Structure 1
Amino acid sequence: MLRLQHKRVASWAFGANRHSISRQFATTTSKPPTAVVLMNLGGPKDLNEVQPFLQNLFSDGDLIPIPFQQTAAKFLAKRRTPKIQEQYAAIGGGSPILSWTEKQGKMLEERLDKLSPQTAPHKSYIAFRYSSPLTPETLAEMKKDGVERAVAFSLYPQYSCSTTGSSLNELWKNLKVLDPENKIRWSVVDRWPTHSGLVEVFARHIEKALLEYPENERKDAVLLFSAHSLPMSVVNRGDPYPQEVAATVQRVMERLGFSNPYRLIWQSQVGPRAWLGPQTDQVLEGYAKLGKKNLLMIPIAFVSDHIETLFEVDVEYGHLAKEKGLTGFKRVESLNDDPVFIDAMADLVSKQLSSKRPVSTQLGLRCPLCTNEKCGQQKEFFAGQVLE
């Protein structure tokens, strides 16, 4: 049965006083906090924020390279706003991604203070790409707190130039203006597709969801690992995202002992260009024709609920599944505030803080057909950080 999990709406109030706490932070502690900057795409908190969110999204040339970017972004945002507002209205009037990220950050702080007392106190900050708190706001808050050491943590487990790359480009661009003297020393958790904690939490959520099927049908339920698609133009220039998503799927299935048949599929395609497939809606239709009825959706590239899980999967694909007679269509619970997930985050950050290497080996390597010079400059900046 389709589960819309409306309890997420009530959690939006979490962290309402975070900004006032932040303003007091520097005066209540003698040591500046070690910052963990949680990077993600963000989402509109209410329907009035939908158009600004869309305009920021369409203005990002790293994500959607289009001619006359700024002019086109305004036009596209205005045209699509009514439809997108309807989608957000269907899931409670806005995105819960901020409240989930705030909760993840608070839990992470507590774990890190115990796990890495030598770098305590730790404080989480949020740098969304398309909605508040945006990167400039976050950096201003960090400067008020006197931050000298920071870890940029990508909440995209699998790296893409369109997601993590775009967030790091934005961070680097604003650091040139807001911290020109490089007073903050940075390191980066830029990808973690096969981290044991990530694999474990996905596996546990899948095992829990499989228990909802009748025992005699359970082993035949098809596991559909769904991730946000990419235009083939991005894939063909050498973006590592498809390989890293597949690596996560492989490790999760190994952890499950290959208990069920499975496929990796792709969602959220827009526009007429060729995108990485197979597309999720076509997959559902195809398996319906093949007589399958038990399909378990696993959003393998998302770490918290937002529009692409709560509306696209639960509502749109849920309706399609019902139309096609897929009576066993379900979705696994998102990672959100699962303690196993928070432990994985804490492990990644603590290891990065104790490492002398500011970035992974992979981050320094540009796509073989990359034409974005700022991408190369950003990589050089973070790779060149001196950690003492």
Structure 2
Amino acid sequence: MSTSREHASTGRPASDRGPTGIVMMNLGGPKTQDEVQPFLLELFADREIIQLPLQRWSGPRLARRRTKGVQKNYQDIGGGSPILKWTEAQGRGMCERLDRISPATAPHRFYVAFRYVSPKSDDALQAMHADGVRRAVAFTQYPQFSCSTTGSSLNELWRASKRLGLHDAFDWSVIDRWPTHPSFIEAMTDTVRQGLATFDEKDRDDVVVLFSAHSLPMGVINRGDAYPAEVGASVHEVMKRLDYDHEYLLAYQSDVGPVPWLGPSTETVIKDLGAKRRKNVLVVGIAFTSDHIETLHELDIEYGELAHEHGITNYVRAPAFNDMPLFQDALADIVREHLASGEPCTRNYGLRCPGCVNPQCRNIINPIAPFKRTPVTSSPKNKLYPTG
């Protein structure tokens, strides 16, 4: 079983309190063709990610109907998702840097917790317990907060702690968002500069920078989810560092299922830019921290073909962070500042969405310090969410 528990070897012996454990949370992706259908079955059954009509029946049906197509997409990019490889590389680099810049909390070890494919939260927690971790940080790998991404990952982490009898095993804090952290913005800006440098100098001033983020169902957005505002904040800070020297747009990708999704869609925007005779487009995955199916297939292959069909002759995607040292610097800076603050979370973490009906949301089990958490809206829907 894969646990992705690794740490930087710096020659520093572990203290009596044990290492500082950093759980790197993300959705994950199938590593093989055989993992695709189980992944989709779990995804479309999860009401914290997407709510479908008659979900108990429609979720499995949608997953099975999409399996062959999704398997083909993964085959096109090498057979499986590289997200675990890149997350592990980022975790190693982060811990190596943390051991140098935060010796008081060293040694540091990272643990990967994906949602629907191993290593999952149970794997991470069991590995942490075996390694003697006491101080633990739940570190979302989604820079911009959403209840459907960071929120659902945290809820599953707490459920797994309960299932394993590890509710009191760790002293927890949460890095729940970092959309405008200076080190993240600098790394993202660097990828944009790299992308712009691939255009001929004569075309560079004409480039439209198209920021693309994963879409969310409008049912999530209309509850008051922070995601659109935080994605917009990231875009603003990147363009500010670029002195607003290019035209830019923000769009959303990867909508699936028979429900309304946040727009405008990246697909529609690409078509519209082609219709307006724009020839030079740089796409930037503003919400992604590594290459995976949404970048390698959707942005590169599907939208690349679409762009050329609609007359966009120079369509380029800015590189993902992957093993980029500047991004590993950013991860380490974010964790170091968080550990030094002594805070359990950001001030906004405990503020539920106005329409929240999930009793689990905005929780931290055994937090390092008290935090303010608003109550859930009373509703018959409270019972629809899993508790363990």
State if a TM-score over 0.5 links the two structures: yes
Pairs within 5 Å for 1:127-166 = 127-166=113-152
RMSD: 2.0
- Equivalence for 2:175: 189
- Equivalence for 1:385: 368
Deviates more, 1:315-324 or 1:204-213: 204-213
How does the TM-score come out when normalised to structure 2?
0.89
> Residue 4 of structure 2 contacts residue 111 of structure 2 at CA under 8 Å; is this kept in 1?
no
Does 1:62 pair with 2:48?
Answer: yes
CA distance in 2, matches of 1:181, 1:315: 44
Does 1:335 pair with 2:318?
Answer: no
Aligned residues: percent identity? 51
Deviates more, 1:181-190 or 1:58-67: 58-67
Deviates more, 1:212-221 or 1:143-152: 212-221
Q: Give the counterpart of 1:224 among 176, 200, 210.
A: 210
- Equivalence for 1:11: none
Deviation at 1:65, TM superposition (A): 1.9
Does 1:311 pair with 2:310?
Answer: no
- Equivalence for 1:257: 243
Deviation at 1:294, TM superposition (A): 0.2
Deviation at 1:369, TM superposition (A): 0.9
Match of 1:227, SS? strand
- Equivalence for 1:123: 109
Deviation at 1:356, TM superposition (A): 2.0
How does the TM-score come out when normalised to structure 1?
0.89
Q: Give the counterpart of 1:296 among 269, 282, 289.
A: 282
CA distance in 2, matches of 1:170, 1:269: 23
The gaps in structure 1 that reach 5 residues or longer are 1-15, 23-27
Deviation at 1:216, TM superposition (A): 2.0
Deviation at 1:68, TM superposition (A): 5.1
Q: Which structure has more helix as a fraction of its residues?
A: 1
**Amino acid paired to 2:60:** K
CA distance in 2, matches of 1:304, 1:222: 22
Pairs within 5 Å for 1:268-307 = 268-307=254-293
CA distance in 2, matches of 1:44, 1:271: 19
From the superposition, tell whether residues 53 and 73 of structure 1 become closer, same or farther in structure 2 (CA, over 3 Å): same
Deviation at 1:34, TM superposition (A): 0.7
1:206-225 CA-to-partner distances (Å, cap 9, x unmatched) read 11211221212211200000
**Amino acid paired to 1:141:** A
Deviation at 1:277, TM superposition (A): 1.1
> Residue 52 of structure 2 contacts residue 257 of structure 2 at CA under 8 Å; is this kept in 1?
no
Match of 2:335, SS? helix
Deviation at 1:66, TM superposition (A): 2.9
CA distance in 1, matches of 2:58, 2:85: 31
Match of 1:114, SS? helix
**Amino acid paired to 2:216:** L
CA distance in 2, matches of 1:172, 1:355: 23
Deviates more, 1:152-161 or 1:72-81: 72-81
CA distance in 1, matches of 2:63, 2:257: 14
Q: Give the counterpart of 1:172 among 131, 140, 158.
A: 158
Deviation at 1:181, TM superposition (A): 5.0
1:2-46 CA-to-partner distances (Å, cap 9, x unmatched) read xxxxxxxxxxxxxx9966x78xxxxx8564211010000000111
Q: Report runs of 4+ in structure 1 exceeding 6 Å deviation.
A: none
**Amino acid paired to 1:212:** T
- Equivalence for 1:367: 353
Deviation at 1:372, TM superposition (A): 1.0
